Amino acid sequence: MNKLPVYILKRYLLLLVGLTIMAFGVAFSIKASLGTSPISSVPYVVSLLTPLTVGTATIIMHCVFILIQILILRKNYHPIQLMQLPVAFVFGYLTDFGVWAVQNISYSTYWEQWILCLIGIFLVAVGVSLEVKAGVVVLAGEGVVLAICKVLPVKFGYMKVGFDVTLVVTACVLSIGFTGQLQGVREGTVAAALMVGLIAKQLGKILSKWKLEE
C-alpha cells in the first residue's frame, strides 16, 4: 500500500490545525486591544478604515504578497507556491471565525488585557511551529521574505525583522493618516514581535522529536 498520500494528508491536516490555532491567536490579540502582531497589523487597520473584515483584508494582503513573490522571482517562481493562495483564503476565513468566537470575552482591567494578549502571542507561536512542522507551504508573508532572500544576500532572520518593521510602520502611517490616531499598534505589538519567534523556536525543538512518518 502506498503510504505517500496518507503522509501528505497528515502534513496538510497539521497545517490546517496550525492555521486554526494561529487565527485564534490573532483573534485574541485583537480582542486584547493592546496591538496586534506585526503580520496582522495592516489588515486590522484596513478593517477599521473600510467595510472589510480582518480576515478579508488578510486575504487581500496575502494575494499582494504572492504577486510580489512572482514579480521578484519571475521564471524562478515555482508554481507549487501558488498553494499559498488557498492557504490565504483558509487563514482569512479562520481569522474572521476566531474574531467572532471571542467577541463575548470581556475584560475590565489592564492586566486582563495582557492575559488575552499573551494568550494570543502563545497561540500564534504554536500555530507558526505547526506550520513549520507541516513543511508543505508557508504563508505568503514568509514567502515574500524567502523570495527577497533568494535575490539579496541577506539572512532570513534579519529580513524577517525588517519585513515585520515595514508592516508595523505601514499600519502606523495608515492609522494616523486616516484616523488621526495610532490604532492596531501598541505595546502588545512589540511583545508579539519579541516573543512569538522565541516561543516558536522552543516549541520547534519539542516538535522536532515528533516524526510524522510514524
Per-residue pLDDT reduced to its tens digit, 114-150: 999 999 999 999 998 998 888 888 889 888 988 999 8
Q: Evaluate whether residue 213 is within a structural domain.
A: no
Residue with cell 516561543: 199
Q: Evaluate whether residue 212 is within a structural domain.
A: no
Phi-psi region of 130 (alpha: psi -120 to 50; beta: other; left: phi over 0): alpha
Q: Evaluate whether residue 1 is within a structural domain.
A: no
Q: Could you tell me if 28 and 102 are in contact, meaning their C-beta atoms sit under 8 angstroms apart?
A: yes
Report the C-alpha gap between 85 and 105 in whole angstroms.
31
Residue with cell 519571475: 74
Mean pLDDT of all residues in 69-85: 90
Residue 21: the pLDDT is 96
Per-residue pLDDT reduced to its tens digit, 8-64: 888 889 999 999 999 999 999 999 999 998 889 999 999 999 999 999 999 999 999
Residue 2: the pLDDT is 59
pLDDT tier for residue 155 given thresholds of 50, 70 and 90:
confident
% of the chain at pLDDT higher than 70: 97
Residue 1: the pLDDT is 47
Overall domain count for the chain: 1
Q: Evaluate whether residue 91 is within a structural domain.
A: yes
Residue with cell 527577497: 148
pLDDT at 158 > cutoff 90:
no
pLDDT at 198 > cutoff 70:
yes
Q: Could you tell me if 73 and 45 are in contact, meaning their C-beta atoms sit under 8 angstroms apart?
A: no
The boundaries of the domain holding residue 34 are 7-207
Report the C-alpha gap between 123 and 101 in whole angstroms.
15
